[in-house]
């Protein structure tokens, strides 16, 4: 298949592009290198991809560049590009979220109307659309009540996908990711921050009491969900929860990271941030039944993989003694 991956230099996008190429597909990757975190990390994410003859990269802004030609011969489109971050989405920064998460999605869907080979658009949504749900675990039918502007922007993207399916039969599927982690995770995300702090002997900043819970999902499971969402027939217009299948207390995650690193964790407790959800937990029965999705990576194993990545990123290698 000929595949387009937007946000290809990001955490999920780079892993997804690698999997597609490993499966024998051709990938066109697009990224505009938003400055939410250092470009050097994103360039490192796609360094291996650039060496593949099946990979082509274009640096482009989905809001500024023409998209009709970009999508013209595409069969699968994985729309991972977005402005991330719950806490940063308040105030004047929301302009970036409306442009990157809403307007760019609408422009992509418009371009899809003239893409003759298009079989599926997979849209990366977020568990943030649920907000603080009254009942856990949440199903896809749970009332969506985002508590952050970021969550609002991702829900708007979902609604746009549904509209273009209903009105024009653009074959969209939306995946609601629940706290994705693993190697290449963004520097602002919790596990990356926690692991870095433990490795470098710095205090871990925790917003709240560390008793909040999350449904954590390893990166390879999210990638698998994307592939299944692209190739499964008769799921157009649908939304699926994609999660790791277990709800874990944040404090336990910190303890596990410290144990794996063989170091102590120092925690600096701060006031709960606006827009942070207290608990998340997903019912993934729909994805299991229709997509055949089943998370494969246990939390401890996934944390160990992320910690190894962070060690390579932040700890200088020990010099080999001269002989």
Asked if pLDDT for residue 42 goes beyond 50, the answer is yes
* DSSP alpha helix (H) spans, the chain: 11-22, 39-45, 47-50, 68-71, 94-97, 104-112, 149-168, 190-200, 219-231, 250-261, 285-291, 299-314
Answer positive or negative: Cα dihedral of 109, 111, 113, 117. negative
**Residue-wise pLDDT tens digits, 111-154:** 999 999 999 999 999 999 999 999 999 999 999 999 999 999 99
Asked if pLDDT for residue 303 goes beyond 90, the answer is yes
Cα 287 from Cα 241, distance rounded (Å):
7
DSSP letter at 101 equals I
In this predicted structure, what is the pLDDT of residue 323?
47
For 243, phi and psi rounded to 5 degrees? Answer: -145, 175
In this predicted structure, what is the pLDDT of residue 89?
92
Give residue limits of the domains in the chain. Answer: 2-178+218-243+281-295
Residue 110: closest CA among 61, 162, 170: 170
* 63 Cβ contact list (under 8 Å, min separation 6): 99, 100, 103, 104, 107
CA atoms within 13 A on the CB side of 193: 13
**Residue-wise pLDDT tens digits, 266-275:** 999 999 878 8
**Beta strand 2-6 with 217-218: parallel, antiparallel or unpaired?**
unpaired
**Residue-wise pLDDT tens digits, 232-249:** 999 999 999 999 988 899
**Percentage of the chain surpassing pLDDT 90?**
91
Which segments within 20-137 are labelled E, that is strand?
A: 26-31, 55-59, 76-79, 120-126
Catalytically active residues, by annotation: 150
Residue 290: closest CA among 245, 256, 240: 240
Q: Considering only the top CATH level, what class is 2-178+218-243+281-295?
A: alpha beta
Cα 146 from Cα 151, distance rounded (Å):
5
In this predicted structure, what is the pLDDT of residue 272?
87
In this predicted structure, what is the pLDDT of residue 248?
93
In this predicted structure, what is the pLDDT of residue 317?
62
**Beta strand 55-59 with 26-31: parallel, antiparallel or unpaired?**
parallel
What value does the mean pLDDT take over residues 58-78?
A: 96
In this predicted structure, what is the pLDDT of residue 316?
66
Q: At what angle do helices 149-168 and 104-112 cross, to 10 degrees?
A: 10
Asked if pLDDT for residue 102 goes beyond 50, the answer is yes
């Amino acid at each position: 298949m000929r595949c387009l991956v937007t946000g290809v230099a990001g955490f999920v996008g780079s892993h997804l592009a690698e999997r597609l190429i490993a499966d024998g597909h051709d990938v066109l990757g697009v990224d505009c290198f938003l400055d939410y975190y250092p470009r050097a990390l994103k360039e490192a994410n796609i360094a291996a991809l650039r060496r593949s003859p099946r990979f082509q990269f274009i640096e482009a802004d989905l809001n500024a560049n023409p998209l009709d030609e970009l999508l013209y011969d595409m069969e699968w489109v994985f729309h991972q590009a977005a402005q991330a971050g719950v806490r940063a989405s308040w105030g004047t920064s929301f302009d970036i979220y409306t442009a990157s998460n809403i307007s760019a999605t609408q422009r992509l869907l418009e371009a899809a109307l003239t893409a003759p080979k298009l079989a599926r658009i997979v849209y990366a949504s977020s568990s943030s659309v649920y907000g603080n749900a009254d009942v856990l675990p949440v199903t896809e039918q749970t009332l969506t009540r985002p508590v952050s502007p970021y969550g609002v922007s991702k829900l708007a993207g979902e609604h746009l996908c549904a509209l273009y399916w209903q009105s024009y039969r653009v074959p969209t599927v939306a995946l609601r990711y629940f706290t994705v982690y693993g190697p290449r995770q963004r520097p602002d995300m919790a596990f990356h921050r926690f692991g870095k702090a433990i490795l470098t002997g710095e205090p871990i900043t925790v917003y709240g009491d560390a008793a909040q819970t999350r449904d954590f999902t390893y990166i390879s499971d999210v990638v698998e969900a994307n592939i299944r969402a692209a190739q499964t027939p008769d799921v157009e217009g649908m939304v699926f929860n994609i999660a790791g299948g277990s709800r874990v207390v944040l404090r336990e995650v910190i303890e596990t990271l410290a144990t794996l690193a063989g170091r102590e964790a120092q925690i600096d407790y701060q006031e709960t941030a606006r827009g942070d959800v207290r608990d998340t937990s997903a019912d993934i029965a729909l994805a299991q039944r229709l997509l055949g999705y089943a998370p494969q990576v246990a939390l401890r194993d996934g944390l160990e993989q992320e910690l190894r990545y962070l060690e390579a990123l932040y700890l200088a290698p020990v010099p080999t003694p001269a002989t």
